[in-house]
Amino acid sequence: MDSDVRGDVVVVGGGIIGLTTAVVLAERGRRVRLWSREPVERTTSAVAGALWWPYRIRPVAAARAWALRSLQVYEELAARPGATGVRLAEGVLGETDPDEVGGWAAGRLPGLRAATPEEYAGAGLWARLPLLDMTAHLPWLRERFRAAGGVVEERAVATLAEADAPVVVNCTGLGARTLVPDPAVRPVRGQLVVVENPGIRTWTVSTGPGGEPVYFFPQPGGLVLGGTAEEDVWTAEPDPAVAEAIVRRCAALRPEIAGARVLAHRVGLRPARDAVRLERETLADGRLLVHNYGHGGAGVTVAWGCAEEAAGLAGAPSA
């Protein structure tokens, strides 16, 4: 195939990691095709609650650096929330010690302080963080990619060798388990409930009495309630009993949630790994393969930092 038709880079995977990586590569002047098994609106990323915070991701030092770079980008995008789906929203990080963030993010998070008893019953931090509406942000990213000359192709692949380009970037998330293959990638099932917002304007992230994650995020389409973190569970169907428990735990923090009308149930399988794989290798035929996967539930949080590093590994350094 002629290289002008083929393009310089194929990015495989159309979630937040793949889309952001494709945008960075295209805006650095590379000819990029993005291969996605399904439209961005149906990827795992579309289900995300999408609060910026480095949730269960390693290696810790690198993840914090990626997160801070992404924070910078989201702060800029929050100037146009209607277009980008990104806004800065206030809320409480429950059971979070100030020392946990003091060494790496306190200087980057203006207004970070201990939550008052009126704001949260336990020990927590009040913060103003990026909160993304993924129903708006993913399509916006896709159009930004296209505006930079990128091409989106909806196709599934059985092997990364199908990518007919000198440079291939693997952003397949959970798919990397079979495509690489990498058995270290495993699902962490997350179930959410979307309800009519009874007037809640701040988000909360907490922990239930049994150690379960409890959170709610006000989004334009309703109040998103969560959640679960079930390791090695592949079931993508919502469990009614789990949904009832999610509503119950959230209502324990904000009683008005108890009577809210349910709008939707969502399930996403987070692509977890003991550590993010962000590295390159040379294939037997001399082509370059860059891996960028294993971000678990923190893909939104580290997307831009990882994308820029992956673009550098792919031979597209910043100007």
Six-digit token string for 295: 């971000």
Binding residues for FAD, as ranges, are 44-45, 157, 172, 296-301
Which long-range CB contacts under 8 A does 261-265 form with residues at least 24 apart?
Answer: 261/195, 261/196, 262/193, 262/194, 262/195, 263/194, 263/195, 263/196, 263/221, 263/222, 264/193, 264/194, 264/222, 265/191, 265/192, 265/193, 265/194, 265/238
Is 105 in a helix, a strand, or coil?
A: coil
Contacting residues for 310 by C-beta, under 8 A, at least 6 apart = 21, 24, 169, 171, 278, 290, 292
Among candidate residues 175, 144, 137, the one with its CA nearest the CA of residue 36: 175
Is beta strand 86-94 parallel, antiparallel or unpaired with respect to 124-132? Answer: antiparallel
Six-digit token string for 276: 């993010």
Q: What angle do CA 282, 165, 147 make, to 5 degrees?
A: 125
Query: DSSP code of 51?
Result: B
Binding residues, as ranges, are 44-45, 157, 172, 215, 270, 296-301
Cβ atoms of residues 12 and 18 within 8 Å: yes
Among candidate residues 96, 93, 171, 188, the one with its CA nearest the CA of residue 131: 93
AA identity, residue 18: G
Binding residues for D-dopa, as ranges, are 215, 270, 297
